[in-house]
Amino acid sequence: MLGSRVPLRSDNCALLFHRLREGVLTLDPAVEGMRRPIDGTVVWGALMESGMTEGTATVVSLADGTTSLYTSAGGGLVGGGAHRVVVAATRHFLSVVGAHLDTFGEDSERAPVPESGRVTFRALTYVGRRYLDLSEKDLCEPGHAFSALYQAGHEVVARLRLVNARD
């Protein structure tokens, strides 16, 4: 079982979405048991946020395997970390984020959600938060410099949906 499909359909969908998102953005990895590994890994979490006309979808991937999808319009999937196929996709996504980290800028304290048609990647690192904001249309172009990042994030979503469909 995936954990749970979260029916966030209510007048408070956007508020709940922002609370969940803020909770992830302000996590202390050490408190959560994600101590910095000796192998030099810097990224302990990542978000892929897609701006759409009807709101925002946020994929959360953490080094401990925690994997979730939240939407501001209502709905989401949590508990993906209980499934090996999801954890494998999450770890790959974190690795790809780490490989592109030098192209990310320093994130603001506010960390706004992306505008419609934009995708924002957020890297949660042991030395602070970083971000990269790109056009979704551009990311879909073959050979785009960041298409691997986009594909890795979408693989997490695909795996979440796969295990949810089986449950």
Higher pLDDT, 165 or 62: 62
Q: Supply the pLDDT for residue 3.
A: 47
Banded pLDDT at 4 (limits 50, 70, 90): very low
The answer to whether residues 61 and 45 touch, using CB atoms and an 8 Å cutoff, is yes
Asked if 29 and 99 count as a contact pair (C-beta separation under 8 A), the reply is: no
Residue ranges of the alpha helices (H) in the chain?
13-25, 84-100, 136-139, 147-166
Could you tell me which of 95, 93, 86, 40 has the C-alpha nearest to residue 66?
Answer: 86
Phi-psi region of 92 (alpha: psi -120 to 50; beta: other; left: phi over 0): alpha
Average pLDDT over residues 84-97: 97
Which pLDDT value is given to residue 76? 84
pTM of the model: 0.90
Share of the chain above pLDDT 70, in %: 93
* pLDDT value for 166: 78
**How many angstroms separate the most distant Cα atoms in the chain?**
45
- Indicate whether 2 pLDDT > 50: no
Report the pLDDT value the prediction gives residue 167, as an integer from 0 to 100.
Answer: 67
